[in-house]
Amino acid sequence: MEEVREGPALGGGMEEPASTQELPSPPSPAAPETPGLPAPEQPTEAYAQQLLLQEWAPPGGSLELPPRLTWKLLFPQRPLYRNLLRSPNPEGINVYEPAPPTGPTQQPLETLGNVRGWHIKTEKLQQGLSWTVKQQSVDLLAEGLWEELLDVKQPHITVMDWDVYEDSRLDVCVCELHVWLLAADRRTVIAQPHVPPPDLWERPPHPGHWVQVSHVFRQYGPGARFVLFLHKTKNRMERGVLLRTRVTNSSVSVQFRE
């Protein structure tokens, strides 16, 4: 990842996915949305265009839509400058609150918050260590973006995680973040990060603080249709107690400016 910033701040690292690395299996489809209240009244086409262009600030101040789209259709989804991940805080915590301790806990992850949209599994390691792996696939077209925008304009695609630096030092690396831009077949890799962040363990420790790990995809080329977001957090079973590294406020967003 290109950027690691301390917040109100420290956490783990992110490793570069090898070019020969097999992609994880696509997560199971998310449950359908629960019907809610009727959508609010939409503005006129001209007013929707004015509002969205002011909000998105595309280069040159204008943006051409394909014939099948209108500004009124785009207005409810607002696909730019919003988090495209479902349930970005699956552990029921956020960076605006003090970071919780890493353990001990026996509560299953699924009971801590809203995990809708996430595929969760555990990877066993040696010496009582394990990874909690959470992954989610974002369908860029289903979220309201369109082929011409992604292939020609290629707005920035920003991925971000907030990890908590834990003072128990479960291991040298306690977090990994892997992200791929995939083609329509969900297998062909269009782009993936190539620059790992600095080794956070070289910094002075700040136990219980949050750290941001992020990457911005730029000039990734045509064909991007999906974002596969996967992060791992390290666990250790110690004397029958599970110690777990925490992560929250994950996001995938598309924008013309950072």
**Count of CB atoms situated within 10 Å of the CB of 40:** 7
CB burial readout 184-216, b (16+ within 10 A) else e: eeeeebbbbbeebbeebeeeeeeebbbbbbbbb
Cα dihedral value 258, 203, 130, 20, nearest 10: 60
Residues 6+ apart with CB under 8 A from 148: 64, 66
Q: How far apart are CA 220 and CA 206, in angstroms?
A: 35
Mean pLDDT by 10 residues, the chain (258 residues): 46 40 61 50 90 94 94 95 93 76 63 83 91 95 97 95 65 84 97 60 54 89 97 84 83 90
Q: How far apart are CA 121 and CA 131, in angstroms?
A: 8
Look up residue 167 and give its two tokens.
């003072």
Query: Is the separation of the CB atoms in 130 and 235 below 8 Å?
Result: yes
pLDDT score recorded for residue 99: 65
pLDDT score recorded for residue 204: 40
**Single-letter amino acid code for the residue at 195:** V
pLDDT score recorded for residue 107: 67
pLDDT score recorded for residue 166: 54
SS3 at position 122: strand
DSSP helix, strand, coil percent of the chain (3-state; round to 5): 15, 30, 55
Q: What DSSP element (H or E) covers 75?
A: helix 71-77
Residues 6+ apart with CB under 8 A from 52: 71, 74, 75, 78
- What residue has token string 């040159």? 60
Look up residue 122 and give its two tokens.
């555990």
pLDDT score recorded for residue 27: 59
pLDDT score recorded for residue 104: 59
pLDDT score recorded for residue 236: 85
Cα dihedral value 93, 23, 85, 90, nearest 10: -20
Strands (E), the chain: 3-6, 119-124, 129-139, 156-164, 175-182, 189-191, 210-217, 226-238, 241-244, 247-255
Rounded to whole angstroms, the maximal C-alpha distance in the chain is 64
- What residue has token string 């990457």? 215
pLDDT score recorded for residue 72: 95
Backbone angles phi, psi at 151, to 5 degrees: -85, -35
pLDDT score recorded for residue 21: 54
In the chain the domains, ranked by start, together with CATH numbers, are 3-17+80-255 (2.60.120.260)
Residue among 15, 17, 4, 16 nearest 165 (CA): 4
